[in-house]
Copies of this chain bind each other. A is one copy, B any other.
Amino acid sequence: MPIAASVLLTDLYQFTMLQTYHAEGMNEPAVFELFSRRLPPERGFLLAAGLEQALDFLGNLRFTAAELDWLTDCGRFRPEFVAALEGFRFTGTVDALPEGTAFFANEPVLRVTAPLPQAQLVESRLINLIHFQTLIASKAARCVLAAPDQLLVDFGMRRAHGAEAALLAARANYLAGFAGTATVLAGMQFGIPLFGTMAHSLIQAHDREEDAFERFAAAQPNNVTLLIDTYDTEAAVHKLVNLAPRLQQRGIVIKGVRIDSGDLAEHARQVRQILDKGGLSQVTILGSGDLDEHRIAELRAAGAPFNAFGIGTRLDASTDAPTLDMVYKLQEYAGRPRRKRSEGKATWPGRKQIYRRMSEEGTFVGDCLGLEDHPQPGEALLQPVMRGGQRLAPPESLAVIRERVQQQLAALPFTLRANGTDIYPVDIAPELQELAAQLDQETH
């Protein structure tokens, strides 16, 4: 399992704060909410993702003997504080948006209620897990909306930021509606369908391109997708047309070709023509190479006859918006609402809920961010998922989450689906505005 489980994957200040809470006996219930302060200009909505890994993290949180020894030896912490960490477990409550739910600025995707030290310590890794998968699922959904008729495959492992990013990006992409991934470990760990073709090196390692095609086809007769742009794309397709009858005699059918460079739209048109004239109309064309939702929209607008796209770097690093302004803030402690008032970073205090209103046709009309104990019209979106440190249900299957994403994308207002830069209406409930104003009167 390559998901780092170490509780030391956190910020040092969590431990300095915990030492203070330990010294002061500050162990009352704290309510923290995880939300995005604003959306990047390039995003009109976000898709919640990563809850499964977050719950797994909370459920398995504990210190190993080696970690406790290190904390002792590093010289920063009092022995009685380190000793108290030995039996540390997460025993709190979690409410969250089901994975695949669309959400917007200021709306909590997850709420933790637990004794202050527990709720505090988990901050850094909870953000780290939910931020990344939400980031990628949201980008992937834009690709899915841009390519409703094409099969999409995640090709991004190599330029994802490290091992965990590669693996979790494959999961996030699949949730959002991708057909699968090239990342083998994601197939083994998550059961995500795998897709793969060949690299240019296989062509180059042969003296003749047609030999490379034939030998590759013979080695996996059931899954032949050939890369045709190593030297001259159209010349390669002519070789393929010549080769096809010989392969057919051996019972091998060419399934697809991949184009990875040059003017993709122009090549795809020519390749389609040569294939069709050569009796290979069943052969599909996959495009790859620096693709994202914008490039795909251009290719579709140009009528490029692609059946599938492999999307890598720009997706798995979400290059146009590589981070979200996602934070985890204290909203209540010891039964009293709390408000951070820092300039430009003030938060909405208290234990909140998202209330979503729908049109009769099932389109999202607008949300209201309100207090949990002052319900507003609409559907309440945050669901109970953990109580007393125990999950309330087994993990959702990826199939269920994929289905939810399709429903959510279909219910988004058309302008958000189409360009993603419109602003979806999120009202702040009057009671919440009053509470914030009231807290602003207090002196600290």
Name A residues whose Cβ lies closer than 8 Å to a Cβ of B.
2-6, 8-17, 19-24, 26, 30, 32, 67, 70, 74, 76, 116, 120, 123-125, 127-129, 131-132, 135, 155, 157-168, 182-185, 187-188, 194-209, 215-216, 218-220, 223, 229-232, 260-263, 313-314, 317-319, 322-324, 326, 329-330, 333-334, 338-345, 444
Interface CB pairs A-B, < 8 A, 18 = A2-B2, A8-B184, A12-B194, A13-B196, A14-B184, A21-B205, A123-B199, A128-B160, A135-B161, A161-B162, A161-B165, A161-B317, A162-B162, A163-B164, A201-B329, A204-B339, A205-B334, A317-B323
Interchain residue pairs A-B with the least CB separation, the first 7: A12-B196, A2-B4, A162-B164, A4-B163, A161-B161, A262-B343, A201-B330
Complex CA–CA separation, A341 to B204 (angstroms): 10
CB-based contact B215/A24 at 8 Å: yes
CB-based contact B164/A344 at 8 Å: no
Cross-interface CB contact of A444 among B14, B164, B209, B334, cutoff 8 Å: B209
Q: Which residues of B contact A215 (CB under 8 A)?
A: 20, 23-24
Contacts A131-B158, A163-B3, A231-B444 given; indicate if A185 touches B330 (C-beta within 8 A): no
Question: How many copies of this protein are present in the complex?
Answer: 2
CB-based contact A17/B202 at 8 Å: yes
Complex CA–CA separation, A1 to B196 (angstroms): 29
- A203 to B: closest C-beta gap in Å: 8
For residue A209, which residue of chain B has the nearest CB?
A: B444
Contacts A8-B185, A343-B262 given; indicate if A76 touches B220 (C-beta within 8 A): yes
Q: Which residues of B contact A344 (CB under 8 A)?
A: 261-262
CB-based contact B185/A216 at 8 Å: no
